[in-house]
């Protein structure tokens, strides 16, 4: 049972409480607000798969929260805990997230109710392919309809099976590979996707700590340098967030995993900790820090930035009163329950909301989808042209000044952007511009007293415009 249920508040309701706080500040017609809030389509399926000689009935979901823009976009969770409420909540968050960072998609989410650890690779492939066929039959997948991605328990391998199954069923559809993102590079993936969410989190936190007015309000100095960070979860999001924050000058003093935590007040060596985990299967007993057996107790330790990057509902009404961070950076989806949120805001903690801060993954998924429908690798058209132009410029400066650059200096100046450079640059630009959009809304409306409400206002206004453009709401 998740903590959210211990608080008697289903996840989707928790999302809607936050949505309503923002909607109440706006003057949109009630019908329009209702239409934005509800889930447009939920498909609950049950299908048979042969597992170890026996037929097993698998339950699965796909939820398309909003069709105001197509395709819908969102991951597929492989977990025996997955349920319809969770999928609807996560799909709704995807709708608002896409709107906040100006990605032209509606929100979606899928779930297959299995523990992937209980199945062989062949069985997982059979389940994934059958799930894809069910989606195809009900028109719940396609480059212009609904584009899944990895989520908890799924990754590149599953996305490659989905793309292959869709392609097999879609005949001559030229954009078939754009039916799913998060694919391996040879199957049409994009460079930079794996690190995107953690990198985006870093850009968002960096923007906040460089905001002089905001830091003054929190009684903090500007800049990342020396800021003490604790990260919960050392998976895809948590590892990359810790790596980029640490490279950006922050001191990552603690990492929390399900089986314990590690602490070093002078800063953990993130690459060495990752290596230790690869070798031993755990972050505990790392020589570069002290192991803390009750890992989650560290959520309540003194720090500047706490980044929960594991699962939803980790900060709840029982531990929220004890938190001592000044900034709570939501790497995971829904890590703070609605009740906990009120407690944290009363304590003056800044919450940088998930729907903005962990949007890096969907931003780069959007780039992957663009690459797939345009059938060209980013940088292919202009890299050599850029290099030649820069080289001519450098040569002209050398001629005019009578001075020459070393070979290394010249290489650094004339190098044209490759795919990963362009993807990272697009991500950085998106995170910076979206931050300023949200803060502009917050600062201009005295009735808004937190960043999540400001982000919801940003999302709701943009979705309302889309519905108006569709002519549905005048």
Q: Nearest to residue 296, comparing CAs of 270, 323, 260?
A: 260
Q: Nearer Cβ to ligand NAD, position 355 or 460? A: 355
Per rule CB under 6 A, is residue 361 in the interface with ligand NAD? yes
Instruction: Find the catalytic residue in 73, 97, 109, 243.
Output: 109
Q: Say whether residue 169 binds ligand NAD (CB under 6 A).
A: no
* Contact pick of 11, 78, 140, 234 for ligand NAD (by CB under 6 A): 234
User: Going by C-beta distance under 8 Å and a sequence separation of 6 or more, which residues neighbour residue 340?
Assistant: 315, 316, 317, 319, 320
Binding region for ligand NAD (CB under 6 A) out of 20-28, 50-58, 232-240, 442-450: 232-240
> Between residues 104 and 155, which has the closer beta carbon with respect to ligand NAD?
155
How far apart, in whole angstroms, are the C-alpha atoms of residue 453 and residue 373?
34
- Of 124, 195, 256, 427, which one interacts with ligand NAD (CB under 6 A)? 256
Which one of 2, 128, 132, 236 is in contact with ligand NAD (CB under 6 A)?
Answer: 236
> Shortest Cβ distance from residue 234 to ligand NAD (Å)?
5
CB of 425 to ligand NAD, least distance (A): 19
Provide, rounded to whole angstroms, the least separation between the CB of residue 313 and ligand NAD: 10
177 vs 164: CA distance, rounded Å:
8
217 is catalytic: no
Report the C-alpha dihedral over residues 316, 263, 306, 340, rounded to 10 degrees: 10
Of 42-50, 127-135, 236-244, 337-345: span binding ligand NAD (CB under 6 A): 236-244
| String marking each residue 140-159 x if it binds ligand NAD according to CB under 6 A | -----------xx-------
Strands 228-232 and 54-64: unpaired
Nearer to ligand NAD, 22 or 196 (CB): 196
Q: What is the 3-state secondary structure (H, E, C) of 54-71?
A: EEEEEEEEEEECCCCCCC
How does DSSP assign 171-197, residue by residue? TT-TTGGGG--S--GGGT--TTTTTHH
Q: How far is the CB of 377 from ligand NAD (least distance, A)?
A: 21
Closest approach of ligand NAD to the CB of residue 258, in Å: 4
Q: Binding ligand NAD by CB under 6 A: which of 284, 358, 372, 458?
A: 358
- The residue from 233, 254, 260, 353 that contacts ligand NAD (CB under 6 A) is 233
Q: Angle formed by the axes of helices 121-137 and 156-169, to 10°?
A: 50
Distance of CA 385 to the CA centre of its chain: 34
Cα 418 to the center of its chain, rounded Å: 23
Distance (Å) of CA 242 to CA 209, 246, 265, 269: 16, 6, 15, 10
- Residue 391-430 contact track with ligand NAD, rule CB under 6 A, x = bound: ----------------------------------------
Rounded distance between C-alpha atoms, residue 163 and residue 169, angstroms:
10
Instruction: Check if the beta carbon of residue 263 is closer than 8 Å to that of residue 292.
Output: yes
Binding residue for ligand NAD (CB under 6 A) from 257, 419, 437, 450? 257
Q: What's the closest the beta carbon of residue 68 comes to ligand NAD, in angstroms?
A: 21
State the minimum distance, in angstroms, from the CB of residue 240 to ligand NAD. 8
What is d(CA 112, CA 312) in angstroms, rounded to the nearest whole number?
A: 18
CB-wise, 234 or 378, nearer to ligand NAD? 234
For residues 450 and 344, what is the distance between their CA atoms, to the nearest angstrom?
A: 11
Which residues does residue 302 pair with via DSSP β-bridges, in sequence order?
A: 324
What gap in Å lies between CA 315 and CA 4, rounded to an integer?
10
Distance of alpha carbon 459 from alpha carbon 472, whole angstroms: 18
- Residue 258 found at the interface with ligand NAD (CB under 6 A): yes
Interaction mask 43-82, ligand NAD, x per CB under 6 A: ----------------------------------------
Q: Which of 132, 165, 197, 434 binds ligand NAD (CB under 6 A)?
A: 197
- 114-126 exposure pattern, b = at least 16 Cβ within 10 A, e = fewer: bebeebeeebbbb
- Pick the piece of the chain touching ligand NAD (CB under 6 A) from 201-209, 231-239, 408-416, 460-468: 231-239
| Burial (CB count <10 Å: 0-12, 13-18, 19+), residue 182 | buried
Residue written as token pair 């803390």: 292
Number of residues that bind ligand NAD (CB under 6 A): 22
Least distance between ligand NAD and beta carbon 37 (Å) = 21
Options 18, 284, 333, 434; binder of ligand NAD; rule CB under 6 A: 333
CB 273 within 8 A of CB 234: yes
Give whichever of 169 and 258 is closer to ligand NAD, judged by the CB atom: 258
Query: Binding residue for ligand NAD (CB under 6 A) from 18, 79, 95, 232?
Result: 232
Query: For ligand NAD, what does the binding mask look like between residues 278 and 317, x meaning CB under 6 A?
Result: ------------------x------------xxx------
238: tokens are 């948590």
Structure tokens at 441: 């809304």
| Runs of H (alpha helix) within 298-418 | 338-346, 354-357, 360-374, 383-401, 407-414
What amino acid positions are annotated as catalytic residues?
109
Rule CB under 6 A: which residues touch ligand NAD?
A: 151-152, 197, 232-238, 256-258, 296, 309-311, 331-333, 358, 361
């Amino acid at each position: 049972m998740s903590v959210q249920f211990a608080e008697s508040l289903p996840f989707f309701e928790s999302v809607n409480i936050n949505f309503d706080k923002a909607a109440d500040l706006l003057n949109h017609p009630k019908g329009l607000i209702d239409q934005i809030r509800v889930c447009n389509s939920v498909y609950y399926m049950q299908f048979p798969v042969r597992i170890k000689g026996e037929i097993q009935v698998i339950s699965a979901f796909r939820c398309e929260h909003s069709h105001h823009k197509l395709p819908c976009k969102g991951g597929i969770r492989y977990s025996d805990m997955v349920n319809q409420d969770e999928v609807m909540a996560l799909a709704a968050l995807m709708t608002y997230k896409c709107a906040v960072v100006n990605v032209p998609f509606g929100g979606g989410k899928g779930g297959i109710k299995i523990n992937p650890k209980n199945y062989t690779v062949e069985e997982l492939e059979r389940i994934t392919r059958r799930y894809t066929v069910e989606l195809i039959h009900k028109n719940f997948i396609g480059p212009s309809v609904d584009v899944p991605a990895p989520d908890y328990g799924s990754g590149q391998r599953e996305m490659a099976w989905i793309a292959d199954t869709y392609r097999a069923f879609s005949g001559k559809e030229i954009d078939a590979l754009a039916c799913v993102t998060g694919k391996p590079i040879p199957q049409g993936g994009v460079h930079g996707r794996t690190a995107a969410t953690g990198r985006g989190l870093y850009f968002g936190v960096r923007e906040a700590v460089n905001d002089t007015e905001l830091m003054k309000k929190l009684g903090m100095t500007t800049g990342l340098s020396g800021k003490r960070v604790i990260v919960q979860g050392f998976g895809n999001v948590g590892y990359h967030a810790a790596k980029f924050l640490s490279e950006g000058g922050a001191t990552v003093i603690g990492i929390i995993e399900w089986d314990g935590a590690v602490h070093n007040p002078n800063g953990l060596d993130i690459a060495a900790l990752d290596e230790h985990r690869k070798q031993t299967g755990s972050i505990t007993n790392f020589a570069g820090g002290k192991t803390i057996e009750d890992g989650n107790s560290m959520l309540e330790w003194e720090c500047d930035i706490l980044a929960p990057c594991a699962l939803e509902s980790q900060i709840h009404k029982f531990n929220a009163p004890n938190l001592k961070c000044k900034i709570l950076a939501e790497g995971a989806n829904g890590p703070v329950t609605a009740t906990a949120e009120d407690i944290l805001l009363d304590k003056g903690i800044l919450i940088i909301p998930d729907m903005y801060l962990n949007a890096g993954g969907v931003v780069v998924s959007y780039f992957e989808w663009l690459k797939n429908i345009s059938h060209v690798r980013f940088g292919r058209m202009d890299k050599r042209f850029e290099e030649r132009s820069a080289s001519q410029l450098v040569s002209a400066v050398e001629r005019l000044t009578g001075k020459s650059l070393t070979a290394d200096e010249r290489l650094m100046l004339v190098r044209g952007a490759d795919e990963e450079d362009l993807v990272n640059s697009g991500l950085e630009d998106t995170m910076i511009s979206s931050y300023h959009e949200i803060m502009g809304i917050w600062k201009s409306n005295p009735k808004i007293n937190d960043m999540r409400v400001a982000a919801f206002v940003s999302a709701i206004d943009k979705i309302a415009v889309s519905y108006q453009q569709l002519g549905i709401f005048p």
